[in-house]
Structure formats: C-alpha cells, structure tokens
Chains A and B, each alone.
Chain A
Amino acid sequence: MSADPASVEPTPDAPSAPPKSESVLRRRFRRFRSIRRGWFSFIVLFSLYGLSFFSHLLVSEKALVVKYDGELHFPAFGNFHEAKEFGQRRIGEANYRLLDRTLAEDDDPDTWVLMPIYEFGPIENLLEELDGPPPHKPSAQHWLGTDNRGRDVFSRLVYGFWYSLTFGLGVVGISYLLGVAVGSVFGFFGGRVDIYGQRLVEIWASLPFLYTVMIISNILQPSLGLLVFLVAIFSWVGISFYMRGEFYREKARDYVSAAIAQGESRTSIMFSHILPNALTPIISFAPFALVGAMNSIVALDFLGLGLPAPTPSWGELMSQGLDSLTAGDYHLVVSPIGALLLTLLMVVFIGEAIREAFDPKVFSRLR
C-alpha cells in the first residue's frame, strides 16, 4: 500500500508504532479516493445533485431578473407577475422568454431581462411557440426536443434527475434505518425473539413487492414522501438479514466478552461496540441498493403508478417513448434511458470503489 508522504514519517524499517496511527475510516476513505473512476463519479454525481437543488435558477422559464420601467423584479424567486404588467397581451403569467426577445430589439438600458441558462421549464407547454404537432425533434433551441405535450425534454430530465436521486437516497436511508434496527435486535438477542421474528420477516419478505405497491399507490394519491415510504418498507428486509448475521458473528468475539466483563450496559455494547463493526458489509452494499431504488421509481413511473402528472419523471418519458415507437420519435426513448444509464453507471462505479476500499479481496494465485 502506498503511504501518504505528508502524514506518515519516513521511517522505513522501524517496526515501532508510528507517532500517529491512521484511523480505519481514514484509511478506507483514502483508498476510496485513490480509485479514480469511483472518486470521479462520486464528485460528478454529487456536484450535479447539489446543482439540481438550484435547477429553478438554471433551467426554468422564469426570468432571474427583470428590469422594467426602472424597477427590478425577481420572478424566479417566487414572485408572480401577470403578463400585462410587462405590456404583454396574454392571460396569466408573463412569458419572460418572449419579453427578453422583444426588449432585446430596442436597446433600452433601463428595461432588460436576465433569463436562466436554459430557458424552458419542465411543465411549460410550448405549443404556441413551436410549429407542428408535438413531440418535436431535438434542435439547437430544444436540446433533446419536446415530449408529446410540447414540453421540453431536457428540462424534464433535469428535474427528473433530482426527483429520482432524492427518491433513491430517501429509500436507502429509511430502509437502512429499519433494516439495521430490526436485524441488530434479532442478531443481538437471538433465541426466541429471533425465531418468531424471522417468521414475521419471512412473511413480509414474501409479499410480492411491486404488487403491493401497485395496490396501495392505486388507492392513495401518491406523493414523493408516500412513495419513498412504500418502497422503503419493502426493501429493508435484505439489510436486516445482513445485520442479523453480522451481529451473530460479532457478539461471539472476545471484545464483546471483555465489554460484558467490564459491566457495560446492553445498549452500549450494541451501539458503541458491535454496531460500528457490523456496518462494514452494508455500507459497501449501499450504492447497489441505491441502484435498485432508482430503478424501482423509474419502473413505477413507467407504469403510471409514480407521482401524478405533470411531475417530470424519467419513467413517464419512457412510457411516452414506448407509445410513439412507430412514429420514430426516438429521442423520447433514448434521452431518459441515457440519463438513467449514465446516472446509475456512476453509482455503480462509486459502489465498486467503496467495496474495494472497505473489503479489499486479495486473491492469491499461483498462475
């Protein structure tokens, strides 16, 4: 293993303990960073996710700043302005894009519009500005074309990215909490708790997942929170099996006997002694759980059981693509699948790097 020259003293042959030992977590993190593909994916994915929280400032039909008759307005920050305020003849909210173009013609320094980088919103109907029936093919203006209701596909993908990743992270978070709690209780107490508990978990695990989610989201009006909850309560079971096994193995170790002999409380043994050691395998599993969760939201949206229209989602675009396959509107299939593939590929790379960092398997071979 290559040592970091800044932190480790150059004492090559001295077996004596180094002045400051590196913690396990730090060492793992350093190893994770050294795997370029995973670390690069990690930075790109989470930078994009961070940016996507500000997508209403980057990709939107609402102007960031409007200066009109010497007054400043900030429509993108939640201020509603009727079209007639800016001298436009239409009902409802002003169309800032058109305003930008009309104002650009007369070089008045006192009236101008600052639009976001990409000036089309995810649920904005563009039919009045575009010729011909939707969906429109990709063009310089609409990078990935429009969907079958004349909404900009690129814009919908951007918002769908936030939605998918938030969903995935939420599901992984909740299912991990549940799985760790249940699994560690079964593993730690064992005996009767374990035997009866396992039967209940088995029943729960054998419920057909998509099936039950379909029933419930068919009755209740789905929202992001409800969907996260629904998928999470079905995905914790695998985690609990892992945790149970880890607890069983760890509690037989000497350090646990030592802690018991020292008179430590049960909670202390469970949480501060065993838990940190038992978490390793499920941490390296987390990115793969994220892949599963993101796939399930895309599938639910594809089936029309996800968030209600007009929420921008990747799965909904794919189902539009399936419907218009013969019409040759390939951008409706290729764009969302491409977005999904790229995102998940980054997650898989991160997962591979984390697994490598946490659990390096060195295969000794002869030839």
Chain B
Amino acid sequence: MQTLNLEYPATGSAARRAHVGVVGSGDLEILFEPGTDATASVRVRTTVDGFDVVWRRVLDAFFAHHPVAGRYELNDFGATPGIVSLRLLQVLETSKPAHKERIGQ
C-alpha cells in the first residue's frame, strides 16, 4: 500500500464534517473535517501502488473546482478515478448545513 499527502489552497468553507463510503472493493472511504486555515490537506492511503500521477490529476481537478478548506482522509481500496470524484462530491453534499448528519445523531 502507499500513502500520499497533498495540499491545496482553499477559499471555501463547509458547515460540518462528513463521512462517506467504505473501504470495499473498487470503493473508498472519505473522512472530512472542515478547517479554517485556507488549506485543503489530503491524505490518501491506497492498496494500489504506483498511481501517484493519476491521484494528483483527480485531486487537482477536484480542488480547482471545489476549493473547500479542511482535512480529507481517503482510505482507498482500488476505486477508479470516477468513483473517487463521486465520493468527493458526496462529501461536499453531506457537509452542507441542510444535510442531517448520520453519525452521532
């Protein structure tokens, strides 16, 4: 397995933390906690080695469109770039104020 750490400048903010996905075949889990220091810091742990460039491209594209500050922890079990992008969008959706948090209800 391989661990990647990336940082992006972030101007947006989110209302709440979010947890989506599962560390299951072809999928990933994301833990997101909003931050205030204008940075999106990302840690990726993946079972599949050697895809640094692909990860960077997927995350570059996402944070170019959605620069939301906070800490993102991605626990990956071989998700495709499409699945990764969908899960990241799901994080944005579930971190909106209107969304009722499932954890800790």
Partners in one complex: no
Question: Which of A's residues lie within 8 Å of B, judged by CB?
Answer: none
Question: Which of B's residues lie within 8 Å of A, judged by CB?
Answer: none
